[in-house]
Amino acid sequence: MMRTTTLAVLGALALAGCSSASGGTGSGDTLRFAAIPAEQNIDPTAEYKDVIALLEKNTGKKVEFVRSTDYNAVIEGMVSGKIDLAEFGPLSYVLARSNGAKITPIASMVEKGGKPTYQSYGFVPAGSPITGIEGFKGKKVCFVDPGSTSGYLFPSQGLMAAGIDPKTGVNPVMAGGHDNSVLSVAGGKCDAGFAENAMVDTILIDKGKLKPGQVKVVWKSDGIPMSPVAMRDDLPADLKAKITQTYVKDANKDRMVQLGICKDAGACKVTADATIWGFVPVTDAAFDPVRKVCAATHNAKCAKA
């Protein structure tokens, strides 16, 4: 992920370099699919194999997963037209649109029976004397990535509400992934940190990488729109219809079992986050709350949003 500006640029170039010179390939035999890297320590190709199989079944295309090193690489890939379909975070979707990507959101993630929102958590090591976000002042604080909604944008709003400048009022560290942010705090590398709620509540605990109670949540954001999938507007109409149907009708664990994509709902994955059950239809307007936080925080990355 975007540990430095140089790494961000290299990541974008690496992603762009593995695309054809003519841009995206959705009109040919291959559909190029990418996703922002929520975790650093996973094989994304394996995490997305079920949804890739579903897309191939429904579209008749070979789906090529484009591995990216950071959020910016996916944004740039969509802006340049070298990615056909991408799973974004809410902020990275807004940034892609505001920087010229001709894309349309299809659907947003949702837990089964849950709301189409999630939260950002601010947390500290279990034994820390810090009891609230105001205690982050002057501390070494792990963020995820400047393009992360729950790992940077909403935490910035929370810090500012507590009278803390997110750039100068703390010693900021870009951990590179939600997992790295949590584990860095748990391991004492950061005094405090931010990440999406699922990474703290379930994902790392289920993987045996974090013990329950190893970090203490001391701040929670308001609800954030769930992460969307968006596709290029200039894809063929029939292909766009098939992709849309895939996500709004078939890309949920129960349906994927019926279609024979996976054996049971517990083994199915529609995204890298195993807590996500499926997708629900979404429009661009759903991400207006993100745009409002962009404006309120005067975030430099949101300047065009």
For 225-239, write each residue's pLDDT tens digit.
Answer: 999 999 999 999 999
Predicted model pTM:
0.82
**What is the per-residue pLDDT across 91-150, written as a single tens digit (0 to 9) for each?**
999 999 999 999 999 999 999 887 789 999 999 999 999 999 999 999 999 999 988 999
Residue 298: pLDDT over 90: no
- Mean confidence (pLDDT) of the chain: 88
Q: Which residues make beta-bridge pairs with 85?
A: 33, 231
So what's the pLDDT on residue 269? Answer: 92
Distance CA 132, CA 110 (A): 29
**What is the per-residue pLDDT across 35-90, written as a single tens digit (0 to 9) for each?**
988 766 667 788 899 999 999 999 999 999 998 878 899 999 999 999 999 999 99
Q: Kindly list the domain boundaries of the chain, sorted by start residue.
A: 5-114+226-286, 117-224
So what's the pLDDT on residue 68? Answer: 82
Residue 14: pLDDT over 80: no
Judge if 5-114+226-286 and 117-224 fold alike in CATH terms.
yes
CA atoms within 13 A on the CB side of 153: 30
Distance CA 97, CA 131 (A): 38
Residue 264: pLDDT over 70: yes
**What is the per-residue pLDDT across 160-174, written as a single tens digit (0 to 9) for each?**
999 999 999 999 999
So what's the pLDDT on residue 271? Answer: 92
Q: Does domain 5-114+226-286 have CATH number 3.30.420.10?
A: no
pLDDT bucket at 303, cuts 50 / 70 / 90: low
Neighbours of 172 (CB within 10 A): 18
Residue 25: pLDDT over 80: no
Distance CA 51, CA 31 (A): 13
The DSSP secondary structure of the chain, one letter per residue, reads --SSHHHHHHHHHHHHHTSBTTB--TTTTEEEEEE--S-SSS-HHHHTHHHHHHHHHHH-SEEEEE--SSHHHHHHHHHTT--SEEE--HHHHHHHHHTT--EEEEEEEE-TT--SEE-EEEEEETT-S--SGGGGTTSEEEE--TT-IIIIIHHHHHHHHTT--TTTTSEEEE-SSHHHHHHHHHTTSSSEEEEEHHIIIIIHHHTTSS-TTSEEEEEEPPPEEPPEEEEETTS-HHHHHHHHHIIIII-BHHHHHHTTSSSSTTT--SSS-TT--EEEE--GGGGHHHHHHHHHHT-GGGTT-
pLDDT bucket at 3, cuts 50 / 70 / 90: very low
Residue 15: pLDDT over 70: no
**What is the per-residue pLDDT across 183-211, written as a single tens digit (0 to 9) for each?**
999 999 999 999 999 999 999 999 999 99
Distance CA 84, CA 82 (A): 7
114/24: higher pLDDT: 114
Find which of 36-45, 244-253, 266-275 is predicted with most confidence, using mean pLDDT: 244-253
273/261: higher pLDDT: 261
20/27: higher pLDDT: 27
So what's the pLDDT on residue 70? Answer: 82
Q: Which CATH number fits domain 117-224: 3.20.20.70, 1.10.600.10, 3.40.50.300, 3.40.190.10?
A: 3.40.190.10
In 3D space, the residue among 69, 83, 75 whose CA is nearest the CA of residue 32 turns out to be: 83
Let me know: does 92 contact 71? Beta carbons within 8 Å.
yes
